[in-house]
Amino acid sequence: MVENNSVGTIFNIQPFSIHDGPGLRTTLFLKGCPLHCPWCSNPESILAAIQVKLSLEKCQQCGICVETCAENALTLDENQKPRLDISCCNQCLKCVESCPSGCISTIGRKTTADTVVSELLKDAPFYSNTGGGVTLSGGEPLAQPDFTAAVLAMLKREGIHTAVDTTGFGLQGHLDAVLPHTDLVLFDIKHLDYERHRQVVGVPNDRILENLKIVADQTGFWIRVPLIPGFNDDIELADRIVALGKSTGAERVCFMPVHRWGEHKYPCLGMPNTLAGIPGFPAKRSQAFQDHFRHMSDYVFITGG
Amino acid sequence: MTITARSKTLRDETCIKSLGRISDQRTVREGLSICLERARIMTDVFKETEGEPMCIRRAKGLAAVLDNMTLFVRDRELLVGCFSSSEKSLPTYPELYWRWLEKAVDNLPDYAAMLSPAEKAELKEIHAYWKPFSIHGRERAYIPPGRSWRIGDFISGGWMWQWEISTPDYKKILRKGLYGIIEEINEKYEAVAADISRPTRDRMRQMDELKAMKISVDAAARWGLRYATLLELHRQEETDPLRCKELDRMISVLSQVPSGPARNFHEALQCFILITFIINYIDQPQVGNGIRFDEVLGPYYEKDLADGLLTPAQGRELVEAVWIKMQEGGYVQPPQWVNNGGGGLGFQTITFGGTDSEGRDITNALTHLGLEVTGDLQTIAPQVAVRIHDNTPQSLYESIFRCVRTGCSQPAIFNDNVNVPRLTELGAALEDARGYSINNCMQPVIPGKNIHYRAGHSGGFLLPMCLTLALSGGRFDIMQGKLSGKRVGYPTPDITEMKSFKDVWDAFCMQVEYAGETLTMLANIADELLREYIPRPFLSAILEGNIEKGCDMRDWEFLGLRHHLVFGVNNAAEGLCAIKKLVFEEKKLTLDAFVAAVEANYDGDALKILNLINERVPRFGNDDDYVDQITVEIMRTVKAVCGRSIDIYGNPYVLDGTTASAPIGAGMILNATFDGRKANEPFHDGSISPVQGHDTAGPTATIRSVAKVKTRESGNLLLNQKFMPEFFDPKHYPVMAGYLKTIMDLGVHHVQFNCVDRQTLENAKLNPEKHKDLIVRVAGYSAYFIDLDNRMQDEIIKRTEQRF
Ligand code: SF4
Ligand code: SF4
Ligand code: SF4
């Protein structure tokens, strides 16, 4: 049963997206992800709760925030500027109001399906003229199944094309709730090897691969693969993923060379900068993928990065 | 295809007549000079013809200039034409103005450098003759004492005797040739001369006017033949056999046009250039152009291709030659105006796309070629406009995007679904309205029709200053930035009497009304002076209806399109919004304190108020009704004021929202305003674009805000949007076409996409505050450039570099 007033936590509504499915889209980013990929460019999406973020350009080093924090999540660094450690933080958000310079803000807000849908519908004329629609991304939309299903169902009722960008890591019941309202699934595959997947991403991939079949049975989907140097950037693996795509009936397979554009966010969130350890994806390597898949350029896409 | 080496050389060697760039102090490009030939010949004729009817004097003046001016041919150029004795010079028009020019050459080194000492002496001699007659200055006698009309008080305006717009019937000229037009004049003349039953005064006037038309049209026909003769001399000295062949062809072209009909593409283009130069530079300084390039010239191009008379490469080089000729144009501008016009360039706009009079799409091979050349050649002129309608083919969208992607900020894209109904509402027949084109800084015009506007006085509502005056009882001291002192606006109530937002709003409307009254008075005086002293027989003969009526174009108008401009509507809206929210709703400050903060330019303690505005006041462009509706209401008010203002032909004024770079110029000299804009910062660019950096909710939200301001309830409003070239990658054409269609569906009048280049990105990195609205593509989504951290910005700058 889909409830219009079911509540979800989101952290961004991004209009004018042209890479999250066909046409011009608005992407709704939901908060909370069961995976923790070290290359994550949206680290603010991982934690399900509303959290705090520091932007210290206007910081007067008054230390008020540090005094406010009862958990010692905020401390002063050697330059007398506050430093956040998310592992101690309990998201009480008291520090936000305490700062006189407005340096501490929250990421994420709770909203109901109706509210967010009315926001998403504002761009409806753009969707219909471009063959676009709305994409739910994250985080992991399946981690908030009721909210996700409610938003999608309401969009469908308005005739909007819907897409869900998912890690594939979710319960079958959640998939069953979401898929009937979804036109297109953007299904992330990070690796086909069970152990490698588990080591690096934090969860094994067996459920993901099973869910791929469930998705394939019910709706159109693309497979999307973030290309990470030294993790999954070998062509042989790529061939196998493409073969998987073909055999399961994916509409296309997209390889997306990793970029490091989320790196600056980690310290602001008080998170260890795992992206620092990920080398950039060399243009040459990207070209090698382009060349290798040239003969299937209407099926395999390598994004610009 | 890339541009030919010849085009590249000619383009690069063209002296850009840019008088005054905003970024630096210089007002005149080095090497640019003033050519006195036109002024000298005109003056001699006027001395000789004293006592004759004014139209005859002007016709004889133009004829003498065309017969005697020095002609030149640039090295290896394919299309010829000139308006002064060298490519590096500009004529002057002493019958229009003398005072500011004399002051400028006396006092400003850049202007002084444009004349030798002997020429300066001659200029003064010429001016000595014109002092009593030159029309700039005559207007002062007609302004009521005590009426303030100067820029900055509350209107923006000036005596722009050199800015006039009208688009002749090029199709007819090409079809009949000027000799064909002379036949028409002769027939009419004989009929009028014979018909003594007509009222005598009319008959005499008509005979004079028709005679004047004949003198000037005849001279224009001879002018082409003079060029043919000059080319023959070049031909005799030419040794390169290839060039000899070209010259032979050019001689044949100029023996045919403009006197006779154009038989092929080359002749048609050559004819167009000569006529354009005469009406826009030699007869009078007239910005605009307004030709529907593909509609008028496309059939010649396609026929030549089909007949095998022209290869695509030859056709392309000829189009390049037109663009280069357009780039040569320019005017000497008064020093105080150079920033407002973004330079002293020719502002020649040409139009592509749209429909025929039946509503059928007219896109042809020349449409695509023209846009391709625009993108590849990257000349500063012409400006290019494209009309979009329901049946615009996908291929045209793609040509547009290809052009936008080059970063030339062209074309401006116009919505037929808004423009055609707007013109019919103003009284044009549907068939005529469908033939509209875009002229100058983006006004609609109907080619060939007797429409002439923005004549002597061009001015607009300086809306943020109207708000300032609403809070000062109409008093303002521009030097001190004080809301007191001399009364320049309407005596609205003192702020101590303002108890509600409505009181402020009412006072604001009064100031707008008063500004409208002043603007109308000034523009009408200007129009009457031009009607009396500067008839235009040549242009009259090539605009529909004048031969038939036997009267000058200045004696009537086909459609009332005289307009008043608007400046800074969103600055004003946000100022009103700040007052409404902070003073009357949240009571966070008093009107008194607000006025004091504005007077203090938000410096010192007043900074707190600026922060308050920045934090709490909704900004236009984010689909927030609270402020958007204020913008809508202001536009309605201004439109109503325009509607009550009547031009000298009895038609209401229209609101014009296309102000080129004027908002930058106007802002640069003006004091702080209530929206949090500090002194000397520009007003927002484009008449309806959000204030720089205030649109933070994405491009679609901006479109939704803009769409609330209905064109039919306001005027023609320009929206500028900036994008990374990436958005216009061929793989995104279908999406961008859909985006553009949606903008049109939502009723936006016209839009311009700026593709951002590396320089801008670098500036944005250094001055993020000034580039808050810059959108870039980051991996899978788009982001505001200034939101990205430095390394990311560097990364994008690097990527942009690779693409150019
Ligand atoms: S699945 Fe996506 S959102 Fe979740 S951690 Fe990995 S990269 Fe980040
Ligand atoms: S939100 Fe976290 S950092 Fe802020 S006060 Fe609470 S525990 Fe401390
Ligand atoms: S309270 Fe704000 S200004 Fe003071 S140290 Fe913390 S972040 Fe800096």
Nearest by CB to residue A24, choosing from B704, B739, B779, is: B739
Cβ contact A254:A41 at 8 Å: no
> In which element (H, E) is residue B7 found?
helix B5-13
Out of A107, A130, A145, pick the residue that ends a domain: A107
Interface touch B698/A263, C-beta < 8 Å: no
pLDDT of residue B369: 98
Does one domain contain both A132 and A200? yes
B387 has which bridge partners?
A: B353, B414
Buried b (16+ CB within 10 A) or exposed e, B719-739: bbbbbbbbbbbeebbbbbbbb
Out of A72, A89, A107, pick the residue that ends a domain: A107
For chain B, the domains span 145-166+448-692
Helix (H, G, I), strand (E, B) or coil at B147: coil
Does one domain contain both A22 and A133? yes
Interface touch A23/B738, C-beta < 8 Å: yes
Q: What share of chain B is helix, strand, coil (3-state, %, to 5)?
A: 55, 10, 35
Interface touch A125/B746, C-beta < 8 Å: yes
Q: Residue ranges of chain B with pLDDT lower than 70? A: 1, 18-30, 150-162, 336-346, 441, 454-456, 458, 658-669, 685-686, 772-773, 775-784, 787-789, 791-792, 795, 798-804
Token pair belonging to B675? 């929206």
Does one domain contain both A55 and A199? no
Nearest by CB to residue A261, choosing from B701, B704, B779, is: B779
Integer angstrom CA distances of residue A11 from A110, A112, A231, A268, B449: 9, 13, 29, 15, 56
pLDDT of residue B765: 83
> Which residues, other chains included, contact A211 with Cβ-Cβ below 8 Å and sequence gap of 6+?
A168, A169, A170, A172, A175
For residue A94, give the ligand 2 atom closest to its CA.
5
Output the CA A104–ligand 3 centroid distance in Å: 8
Cβ contact A95:A129 at 8 Å: no
CATH number of the domain enclosing A142: 3.20.20.70
Is the beta carbon of A69 within 6 A of some atom in ligand 3?
Answer: no
Best of A36, A232, A271 for a ligand 1 pocket test (most atoms within 8 Å of beta carbon): A36
pLDDT of residue B162: 63
Integer angstrom CA distances of residue A30 from A25, A46, A187, A256, B704: 16, 9, 16, 21, 25
Query: HEC string of chain A?
Result: CCCCCCEEEEEEEEEEECCCCCCCEEEEEECCCCCCCCCCCCHHHCCCCCEEEECHHHCCCCCHHHHHCCCCCEEECCCCCEEECCCCCCCCCHHHHHCCCCCEEEECEEEEHHHHHHHHHCCHHHHHHHCCEEEEECCCHHHCHHHHHHHHHHHHHCCCEEEEEECCCCCHHHHHHHHHHCCEEEEECCCCCHHHHHHHHCCCCHHHHHHHHHHHHHCEEEEEEEECCCCCCCHHHHHHHHHHHHHHCCCEEEEEECCCCCCCHHHHHCCCCHHHHCCCCCHHHHHHHHHHCHHHCCCEEECCC
Nearest by CB to residue B623, choosing from A23, A122, A261, is: A122
Asked if A130 reaches chain B (Cβ–Cβ under 8 Å), the answer is: yes
Q: What does the alpha-carbon distance between residue B639 and residue B629 come to, in Å, rounded to a whole number? A: 15
Is the beta carbon of A32 within 6 A of some atom in ligand 1?
Answer: no
pLDDT of residue B652: 93
Question: How far apart are the CA of B795 and the nearest CA of chain A, in angstroms?
Answer: 9
Residue A1 in domain: no
Q: What does the alpha-carbon distance between residue B123 and residue B483 come to, in Å, rounded to a whole number? A: 43
Does one domain contain both A210 and A246? yes
Residue A291 in domain: yes
Question: How far apart are the CA of B783 and the nearest CA of chain A, in angstroms?
Answer: 9
Does one domain contain both A197 and A77? no
Helix (H, G, I), strand (E, B) or coil at B374: helix
Q: What does the alpha-carbon distance between residue A127 and residue A15 come to, in Å, rounded to a whole number? A: 11
Does one domain contain both A207 and A297? yes
Question: How far apart are the CA of A1 and the nearest CA of chain B, in angstroms?
Answer: 33
Token pair belonging to B125? 């001699």
Instruction: Kindly list the averaged pLDDT for each block of 10 residues, start to end, along chain A of length 305.
Output: 83 90 96 94 94 91 95 93 96 94 93 96 95 96 97 97 97 96 97 95 94 96 96 95 97 91 88 90 91 95 75
Q: How many CB pairs under 8 A join A and B?
A: 81
Q: What does the alpha-carbon distance between residue A204 and residue A197 come to, in Å, rounded to a whole number? A: 6
pLDDT of residue B487: 86
Residue A69 in domain: yes
Best of A35, A135, A137, A198 for a ligand 1 pocket test (most atoms within 8 Å of beta carbon): A35
**Residues present in chain B in total:** 804
pLDDT of residue B120: 97
pLDDT of residue B188: 98
Does one domain contain both A38 and A65? no
Q: What does the alpha-carbon distance between residue A149 and residue A144 come to, in Å, rounded to a whole number? A: 9
Does one domain contain both A269 and A163? yes
Q: What does the alpha-carbon distance between residue A21 and residue A133 come to, in Å, rounded to a whole number? A: 8
Q: What does the alpha-carbon distance between residue B207 and residue A276 come to, in Å, rounded to a whole number? A: 86
| Nearest-ligand number for the alpha carbon of A224 | 1
Does one domain contain both A89 and A119? no
Q: Which B residues 139-168 touch A at CB under 8 Å?
A: none
Q: What does the alpha-carbon distance between residue B212 and residue B540 come to, in Å, rounded to a whole number? A: 10
Interface touch B789/A129, C-beta < 8 Å: no
Interface touch A126/B739, C-beta < 8 Å: yes
Sign of the CA dihedral with B128 first, then B130, B132, and B136 last: negative
Interface touch A15/B738, C-beta < 8 Å: no
Is the beta carbon of A82 within 6 A of some atom in ligand 3?
Answer: yes
Q: What does the alpha-carbon distance between residue A16 and residue B776 come to, in Å, rounded to a whole number? A: 11
Token pair belonging to A24? 């011009």
Q: At what angle do helices B699-708 and B625-644 cross, to 10 degrees?
A: 40
Instruction: Supply the residue whose CA is at minimum distance from atom 3 of ligand 1.
Output: A139
Asked if A287 reaches chain B (Cβ–Cβ under 8 Å), the answer is: no
Burial of B354 (0-12, 13-18, 19+ CB in 10 A): buried
Q: What does the alpha-carbon distance between residue B496 and residue B106 come to, in Å, rounded to a whole number? A: 49
**Residues present in chain A in total:** 305
| Best residue in B781, B794, B802 for a mutation probing chain A (most A CBs within 10 Å) | B781
Helix (H, G, I), strand (E, B) or coil at B430: helix
Q: What does the alpha-carbon distance between residue B596 and residue B705 come to, in Å, rounded to a whole number? A: 31
> Which residues, other chains included, contact A117 with Cβ-Cβ below 8 Å and sequence gap of 6+?
A151, A154, A155, A158
Cβ contact A5:A18 at 8 Å: no
Is the beta carbon of A166 within 6 A of some atom in ligand 1?
Answer: no
Cβ contact B164:B452 at 8 Å: yes
Beta-strand relationship, A51-54 and A161-166? unpaired
| Best residue in B388, B611, B700 for a mutation probing chain A (most A CBs within 10 Å) | B700
> What is the DSSP track for B707-729?
HHS-GGGSEEEEEEEEE-GGGGS
Q: Which residues of A touch B779 (CB under 8 A)?
A: 19, 41, 256, 259, 261, 303, 305
Among B690, B498, B723, B704, smallest CA distance to B594 is for B498
Instruction: Supply the residue whose CA is at minimum distance from atom 7 of ligand 2.
Output: A89
Question: How far apart are the CA of A304 and the nearest CA of chain B, in angstroms?
Answer: 8
pTM assigned to the model: 0.89
Residue A86: domain span: 51-107
CATH number of the domain enclosing A83: 3.30.70.20
Output the CA A94–ligand 2 centroid distance in Å: 6
Q: What does the alpha-carbon distance between residue B495 and residue B591 come to, in Å, rounded to a whole number? A: 7
| Nearest-ligand number for the alpha carbon of A33 | 1
Output the CA A95–ligand 3 centroid distance in Å: 9
How do residues B192-240 score in pLDDT, each as one tens digit? Answer: 999 999 999 999 999 999 999 999 999 999 999 999 999 999 999 999 9
Output the CA A227–ligand 1 centroid distance in Å: 13
Nearest by CB to residue A259, choosing from B704, B732, B779, is: B779
Q: What does the alpha-carbon distance between residue B183 and residue B180 come to, in Å, rounded to a whole number? A: 5
Q: How many domains does chain A have?
A: 2
Cβ contact B8:B328 at 8 Å: no
Does one domain contain both A200 and A171? yes
Interface touch B700/A16, C-beta < 8 Å: yes
At B161, the amino acid letter reads: W
Closest chain B residue to A132 measured between Cα atoms? B735
Does one domain contain both A77 and A187? no
Integer angstrom CA distances of residue A46 from A6, A107, A226, B601: 21, 11, 17, 45
Does one domain contain both A12 and A64? no
For residue A226, give the ligand 1 atom closest to its CA.
7
Question: How far apart are the CA of B522 and the nearest CA of chain A, in angstroms?
Answer: 44
Best of A53, A64, A76, A81 for a ligand 3 pocket test (most atoms within 8 Å of beta carbon): A64
Best of A47, A66, A74 for a ligand 2 pocket test (most atoms within 8 Å of beta carbon): A74
Question: How far apart are the CA of A23 and the nearest CA of chain B, in angstroms?
Answer: 5
